[in-house]
Amino acid sequence: MELIMVFKALSNETRINILIWLKEPRQHFPAEELEDYDANLGVCVSDITKKAGLSPSTTSDYLSILQKCGLIEATRSGQWTYYRRNERAIDTLSKLIQKSL
């Protein structure tokens, strides 16, 4: 995990919010959007886009940045892409910050 890349990813409020939303999806997304929610898949990109209030391309860019630094994981299912937090990477980041900073 490259800390500079992670900190750059976390330097945007919406990207931080996405991580917060994905931590507790049932608290942050309407129940009807999570009707078929599967924790192993995560939250559909369209639901994240709607919640963020951004264009699909901007949301995809933000998700790509978070994925490249390992903070989230993507899963394709049919025509849909789902995102979930990478809890192991977030735990590693927390330990790195405690140890290094």
58-70: b (≥16 Cβ within 10 Å) or e: ebeebbebbeebb
* The CA-based dihedral angle spanning residues 84, 88, 94, 97, taken in that order and rounded to the nearest 10 degrees: -110
32 pLDDT band, cuts 50/70/90, is: confident
Mean pLDDT calculated for residue range 10-35? 94
* The CA-based dihedral angle spanning residues 35, 38, 42, 45, taken in that order and rounded to the nearest 10 degrees: -40
Is the pLDDT at 1 greater than 80, yes or no?
Answer: no
**pTM for this entry:** 0.92
Boundaries of every domain in the chain: 3-100
Does domain 3-100 fall under CATH 1.20.1260.10? My reply is no
Q: What confidence tens digit (pLDDT) does each residue in 17-26 have?
A: 999 999 999 9
